[in-house]
């Protein structure tokens, strides 16, 4: 497999073509952003930490039967992934209230959500990832009924797998965002799963261990990402 030219550069990752039209190289950079790209920084070692973290989680999800685009680790910062036709809709599950849910609905941070909530957002930084519903996704052709059903089912399946994984390691999976795409028409989990796209709190102390450390200037961002990984069994 040969890495070819860069196809796309996002806020934290870059995608490269390969000599196989069905496979891309996903490179995790040290760039970090928050608030739809408004706050930016380079955090040393973030690329390799998130690459290994993502590989660990995606492998667990694949073992449990979730279709994922992750194929294998290639290097410290690179993973091989299947080429997806991305669906521009972000799927968010919340087990505990935090972030935009608290701001929008005046809910106290930390309230347990039973059952968990499920929300869709349009992936569009310029519009600040507005919340949408399934009717918008259908009306504007972003996803079909069947794809939306499959995205929801997979997103909740991920919750069942990861909630207990984090819990057993002394952490609460507060919320997370997933992105899906299509491989030969099949809804497949894409993007990444890392502390950049979820909230994780220490069960004992309530301490924040995810990107809120960057958003809220709490410090030691990557040290906490690594601590989350170490507790789960990620080999850094
Ligand atoms: P929110 O509280 O800002 O709506 O985010 C909920 C969770 O989803 C949180 O863990 C962050 C993640 N998320 C992203 O990583 N990127 C996004 O664009 C959105 C909308 C959410
Ligand atoms: N990942 C998004 C951004 O860059 C949203 C966030 O994490 O706050 O800006």
pLDDT in tens, 160-204: 999 999 999 999 999 999 999 999 999 999 999 999 999 999 999
CATH match of 87-220 with 1.10.10.10 = no
- Substitution site in 35, 197, 221 for ligand 2 pocket (most atoms within 8 Å of beta carbon): 35
**Helices 46-63 and 221-232: crossing angle, nearest 10°?**
30
Residue 92 has a pLDDT of 99
Domains 3-82 and 87-220 share a fold: no
CA of 37 to the centre of ligand 2 (A): 6
Task: Tell me the two tokens of residue 190.
Answer: 């894409």
- Per residue in 82-132, pLDDT tens? 999 999 999 999 999 999 999 999 999 999 999 999 999 999 999 999 999
Q: Tokens 């706050």, residue?
A: 39
Mean pLDDT within 34-52: 96
**Three-class SS state of 212:** helix
3-state helix, strand, coil in the chain (%, to 5): 30, 35, 35
CA of 40 to the centre of ligand 1 (A): 16
- Substitution site in 155, 177, 193, 209 for ligand 1 pocket (most atoms within 8 Å of beta carbon): 177
Q: Are 93 and 156 in contact (CB under 8 A)?
A: yes
Residue bearing the CA closest to ligand 1, atom 16: 197
Multiple choice CATH, 3-82, 3.40.50.170, 3.40.50.1100, 3.30.200.20, 3.40.630.10:
3.30.200.20
The alpha-carbon radius of gyration of the chain (Å, integer) is: 17
The pTM (predicted TM-score) of the whole model is 0.98
Residue bearing the CA closest to ligand 2, atom 1: 34
- Name every protein residue with a CB atom under 6 angstroms from any ligand 1 atom: 90, 92, 99-101, 121, 129, 175-177, 197-199
Q: Are 132 and 121 in contact (CB under 8 A)?
A: yes
CA of 213 to the centre of ligand 2 (A): 13
Q: Map out the domains of the chain as residue ranges.
A: 3-82, 87-220
Closest by Cα among 35, 13, 12, 11 to 24:
13
Neighbours of 146 (CB within 10 A): 10
Task: Tell me the two tokens of residue 226.
Answer: 């690594």
- Per residue in 107-117, pLDDT tens? 999 999 999 99
CA of 125 to the centre of ligand 2 (A): 9
């Amino acid at each position: 497999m040969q890495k070819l030219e860069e196809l796309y550069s996002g806020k934290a990752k870059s995608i490269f073509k390969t000599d196989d039209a069905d496979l891309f190289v996903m490179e995790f950079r040290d760039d970090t952003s928050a608030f739809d790209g408004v706050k930016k920084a380079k955090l040393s070692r973030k690329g390799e930490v998130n690459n290994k973290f993502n590989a660990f989680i995606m492998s667990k999800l694949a073992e449990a039967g979730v279709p994922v685009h992750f194929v294998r680790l290639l290097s410290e910062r690179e993973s091989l992934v299947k080429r997806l036709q991305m669906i521009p809709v972000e799927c968010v599950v919340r087990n505990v209230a935090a972030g935009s849910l608290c701001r929008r609905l005046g809910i106290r941070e930390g309230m347990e959500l039973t059952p968990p909530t499920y929300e869709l957002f349009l992936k569009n930084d310029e519009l600040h990832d507005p919340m949408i519903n399934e009717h918008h996704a259908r009306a504007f052709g972003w996803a079909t009924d069947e794809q939306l059903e499959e995205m929801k089912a997979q997103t909740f399946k991920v919750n069942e797998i990861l909630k207990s994984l984090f819990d057993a390691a002394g952490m609460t999976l507060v919320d997370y965002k997933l992105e899906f795409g299509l491989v030969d028409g099949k809804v497949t989990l894409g993007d990444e799963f890392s502390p950049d796209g979820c909230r994780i709190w220490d069960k004992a102390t309530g301490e924040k261990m995810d990107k809120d450390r960057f958003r809220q200037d709490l410090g030691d961002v990557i040290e906490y990402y690594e601590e989350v990984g170490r507790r789960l069994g990620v080999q850094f």
